[in-house]
A and B are shown apart, each in its own frame.
Chain A
Amino acid sequence: MNRSWMNLVPRPQGSSSLPLRYLNSADALLLLCLAAAAIALGAAVRHMLGPLVAPASMPIHLDMWYLPGYALRTTIRMFAALACSLVFTFVYATLAAKSRRAGQILVPLLDVLQSVPILGFLSFTITFFLGLFPGRILGAECAAIFTIFTSQAWNMALGMYQGLRSVPPELEETARCFGLTSWQKFWRLEVPCTIPSLVWNAMMSMAGGWFMVVYSESITVGSTDITLPGIGSYVGMAIDQQNIGAVAAAIVAMMVVILVYDQVLFRPLAAWATRFRLESVNATQVVEPWFLRLVRRTRLLRMCGNALLSVGRRISYLPLGSRPDTMRVDADESTGGPDWLWWGLLLLVCIGASWQVWDYAHTHYTLGQIAYVFGLGGITLVRVVSMLVLASLIWVPVGIWCGLDPTRARRAQILAQYGAAFPANLFFPVFVVVIVHFRLTPDIWLTPLMILGAQWYILFNVIAGASSFPSNLLEVGRNLEVKGWFWWRRIILPGIAPYYLVGVMAAAGGAWNAAIASEVAQWGETTLTAHGLGAYVAQSTQLGNISNVGLGTVVMCVFVMFTNALVWRPLSDFVARRLKLN
């Protein structure tokens, strides 16, 4: 641990209030930045509350000067969604972890929600929110924000739930021993325990979030055209007008946004979160991110930070809630209460739900239609699998090559992480232009789009695996002159398998989701369509055919859940048992 890290949150020495004349130049600049940010934020938010004007009269300008403003609005949506996800996560995860009964429903529900293709939701949420705020942009904004929310919330809630369930028993006992109330225990013990996984999951969901925000800013559901000013709608307009330069500009703007987001928000957050890690591993030395250093060195910010922390501390020690009671421990263990009533209720709900689904399916779909959609699902499945294989063939060797050398590994890791965070759908038009120009078959050439964003998961997990592969095992291999294919087969591939599997699973999830966005593509008047479930859902959304969207989404869910249960879960069990190092 380096010294500066230790002093990360310095306490005020001596007098707590610093005279203002000691403010340094960084403070002044910062003040300026803050003011500018506030003004921009105000302007952007004001538009959100305005009335919804007809799409024709709310033009998206392709002029580059508008781009920063659009980028800002996209970012605000992102933040709003993150805030919602955070609130949701706290409520949901706490409920699931604290109440046995709630947990019995909420945890499996998360599993299901995670496998639902988020883009399939879009037509429902947009209809819902537009109905909620008729005639206001707010409705459309809410729909967009909700879409981003769905791409983050499940993941984060699951992370927090797991964190809450793995609070070390001896710390829990300490808290009870010193008589912390349930409120104090929640904020001083349970929430800190979950912070590392919460931050990590929030970071991981960002990638999906950017993808969604871009997609949801410009979308047509039946007769409703939604155009929210932002990078996504800018690209949409560029596609309409076949302006490849504007697409490039949007890509650059997005890169800048992601860079800033990462540097200002997540880097410092991730570094800060390491303090809450329970295992006392100090193998990886944390390099203090520049922004955190800035916070530390800038007096004004430091004062604000300290004030905030002490207020937080005081709030967390408010004597709310009940003091611990020995007798409750046993009450929790015993299965008190009328359990049969609870299960009976659940059963009733299940029966009601299945009857409703059956009734709906009966009146809206024919058997042939359902079979047809499953067939389309099969086509998309072939696409997903072939792309995973292709991406693995390329990125596993590259990842290993990078990962075995520390400096290369670090650089490649950063690149891959940015690649994963970047919304791949901004690149789609570039591909489409090529396909249109060379008159390629969309059924084949649209396929790579779905792995465009997801492939990076494979790469950075393989790099992580290769770089953490024990060097003494490599030395044994060299010592015994294990070479060539035998080396790959017996040493490195089993060694990275646990990491690779994590990457492939994430990539598969991403690819399914991207299918809806990638199987249909437009360039001006030209529309390219590949056969598949994604195209089916996308086209039904465009036509406003809600029942077809529902069918497509459910079928996709079924595919995802089946592959989870039949392929990924057994595989990860096997890998965890046999191939996990230590």
Chain B
Amino acid sequence: MASGPEKKTFPSGSVLAEARNVSRFYHKDSAADVQVLDNISLTLHAGEIVGLLGRSGSGKSTLLRILAGLLPPSSGEVLWKGQPLHKPTQEIAVVFQSFALFPWMTVEENVALGLDARGVPAAERDKLVDDAIDLIGLGGYENAWPKELSGGMQQRVGLARALVVHPDLLLMDEPFSALDVLTAENLRTDLIELWSEEKLPVQSMLIVTHNIEEAVLMCDRIVIASSNPGRIAHVLHVPFAHPRNREDAEFRQLVDHIYALMTQRAPIVSEADLARRGAPQGAALTRSFRALVPVSITMMIGMMEALAAPPLNGRADLPVLAEKLQLELDDLFPLGESLELLRLAELEDGDILLTNEGVHFVLSDLDERKAIMGHALLHNVPLVRMICTLLDERPTHSIKAERFRSELEDSMSADYARQTLQTIIGWGRFAELFDYDEEGDRFFLEDETSE
């Protein structure tokens, strides 16, 4: 029972927040900065729910933080109601993926955080807190500790805490992705219902997500970001009225369309040029490598086998495959991308299909599979070739992994570099191209050392 926060007079459609040519770099001490966001321009209006949809690496969380005033853009500017935004304001509230509740505060204290920070008088504070708690369905949980609550309830606390300050804009960073399917759906429906009934004390919402259906279900406008660095690739209007039905033909069609848009081959930004063979080692090679997402070899094999098996026969619609394999989009895309990188499969118009090489792989026995994988790695992953070349050249057949890590860091953040190397180690071990000694942090060739 929201007792109606005083309705602010923002005519629907007036501009609330505006990002103008925003770019963002990671600062690095040694080498060139890594770009996360490239020239983003985005406007958020009163009365709309905007979805920001993108894969990992599209910088969507970074953009959300810039819009919240938590991070400054490296270039460009953010306007809030026409004024430059330089710091967080209570007119913009954020809901976090991980809930970000303070474990030492009760539900009530967590919700009251923003009010207490402003020094709102006790009576008013209690009233607002009660309203928010009731609105979001937390009545009876006021004195519970966050640890006692389920994930869904915790995120409700996060929502109530954001809403209690009556922000004009609500930013949500993958708010439902840490929840199980049923809980997430329940929370989505509740939120949309409150929005439709105009009970939410907000003017506009931005939802960052990687879940296509979620975006289509909730948003009026969907902004699709491409990755590495993040750019705005497409903007779509969702013409359906709430409540929406996932089974509607038009709904499905839009979802399929977005799948297709997202699997369009993104312009590859910094694909490593083929490692120059025989380049003197230690020479300043300013090539850049692609960050690899951690995809295990077993997942790739499983996916290829599922693709090759009868009902699909080598080609599948991605939404169908996602459902069949019970995978989330964020798991499916890296898999598909990795297979595409190795030229074992191709992504095309929302479909994935096995290449001849991929079919050959599935039909082979383990030793042949290793050989095919080794071949694919050597030809399609420059870093693997570089490692193998250097291992061959060295009389000791052993080389420190650190140097590859630092080379990777020239074109990506340290975390991505570590992750990329980890992935390469996994793949290389399967293909028996090289071995890796964790203790000494070095690559080596097994045969040679044992001889």
Contacts and interface: CB of A to CB of B under 8 A. Distances in A.
A282 B100 contact: no
B100 A174 contact: yes
B90 to A, nearest CB: 6
Contacts of B116: 184, 313, 317
B100 A326 contact: no
B307 interface: no
Interface stretch (A136-144, A244-252, A327-335, A340-348): A327-335
Interface string B70-99: 111000000000000111111011101010
Interface string B105-128: 100000001101111000000000
A56 to B, nearest CB: 54
B143 interface: yes
Contact of A173 (B65, B85, B144, B148): B65
Contacts of B71: 326, 329
Contacts of A277: 103
Majority-rule SS of B interface residues? loop
B276 to A, nearest CB: 34
B65 A317 contact: no
A542 to B, nearest CB: 50
B72 A178 contact: no
A275 B104 contact: yes
A389 to B, nearest CB: 26
A11 B109 CA distance: 12
Given A173-B65, A334-B27, A577-B439, A179 B114 contact: yes
B19 interface: no
B165 interface: yes
B25 to A, nearest CB: 11
Contacts of B98: 170
A525 interface: no
Interface in A309-327: 313, 317, 319, 323-327
B141 to A, nearest CB: 11
A405 to B, nearest CB: 29
B68 interface: yes
Given A278-B103, A577-B439, A173 B90 contact: no
A7 B144 CA distance: 9
B242 interface: no
B57 interface: no
B400 interface: no
Contact of B87 (A189, A275, A326, A333): A326
A446 interface: no
* Residue among A7, A174, A276, A333 having the largest count of chain B Cβ atoms under 10 Å: A174
Contact of B94 (A177, A275, A317, A329): A177
A171 B439 contact: no
B123 to A, nearest CB: 14
Given A6-B148, A277-B103, A325-B86, A179 B68 contact: no
A181 B88 CA distance: 12
Contact of A275 (B69, B85, B103): B103
Interface in B1-45: 27
Interface in B133-160: 143-145, 147-148
Contacts of A11: 143
- Chain A interface size, as a band, is 35 or more
A276 B104 contact: yes
A97 B86 CA distance: 25
* Residue among A177, A181, A189, A280 having the largest count of chain B Cβ atoms under 10 Å: A177
B240 interface: no
Contacts of A327: 72, 86-87
B119 A1 contact: no
A192 B439 contact: no
A171 B148 CA distance: 18
B100 A170 contact: yes
Given A6-B145, A282-B147, A319-B119, A326 B88 contact: yes
Nearest to A9: B106
Contacts, number: 101
A189 B100 CA distance: 12
A369 B389 CA distance: 59
B100 A173 contact: yes
* Residue among B65, B70, B90, B161 having the largest count of chain A Cβ atoms under 10 Å: B70
A302 interface: no
Contact of B68 (A1, A168, A177, A577): A177
B179 to A, nearest CB: 15
A180 interface: yes
A188 interface: yes
A178 B114 contact: yes
A165 interface: no
* Residue among B86, B93, B117, B438 having the largest count of chain A Cβ atoms under 10 Å: B117
A313 B86 CA distance: 29
Interface string A377-394: 000000000000000000
Nearest to A333: B27
B86 A189 contact: no
A1 B87 CA distance: 39
Interface string B374-387: 00000000000000
A173 B143 CA distance: 24
Interface in B163-202: 165
A324 B69 CA distance: 10
A299 interface: no
A324 B88 contact: yes
Nearest to B94: A177
A313 B71 CA distance: 29
Nearest to A272: B104
Interface in A235-287: 275-278, 280, 282
Contacts of A174: 94, 96, 100, 102, 113
Interface in B304-355: none
B65 A179 contact: no
A48 B279 CA distance: 78
Interface string B210-231: 0000000000000000000000
A173 B94 contact: yes
A171 B117 CA distance: 15
B75 to A, nearest CB: 12
A326 B90 contact: no
A174 B93 CA distance: 9
A276 B70 CA distance: 25
Contacts of B104: 192, 195, 275-276
A178 B145 contact: no
Contacts of B27: 330, 333-334
Contact of B102 (A6, A171, A578): A171
Given A326-B88, A330-B72, A178 B117 contact: yes
A577 B438 CA distance: 9
Contacts of B96: 170, 173-174
Contacts of A326: 69-72, 85-88
A284 to B, nearest CB: 13
A134 to B, nearest CB: 47
B148 A1 contact: yes
A176 interface: yes
A173 B70 contact: yes
Given A173-B94, A174-B100, A275-B103, 9 more contacts: A11-B143, A173-B96, A174-B113, A275-B145, A282-B147, A317-B116, A319-B117, A326-B72, A327-B86
Q: What are the 4 closest A-B residue pairs judged by CB atoms, nearest first?
A: A178-B114, A170-B100, A174-B100, A326-B72
26 contacts: A168-B100, A170-B100, A171-B102, A173-B94, A173-B96, A173-B100, A176-B70, A177-B92, A178-B114, A178-B165, A188-B102, A188-B105, A275-B104, A277-B103, A280-B147, A282-B147, A313-B116, A317-B119, A325-B87, A326-B69, A326-B70, A326-B72, A326-B88, A329-B71, A333-B27, A577-B438
Interface of B: 27, 65, 68-72, 85-90, 92-94, 96, 98, 100, 102-105, 113-114, 116-119, 143-145, 147-148, 161, 165, 438-439
Interface of A: 1, 6-7, 11, 168, 170-171, 173-174, 176-181, 184, 188-189, 192, 195, 275-278, 280, 282, 313, 317, 319, 323-327, 329-330, 333-334, 577-578
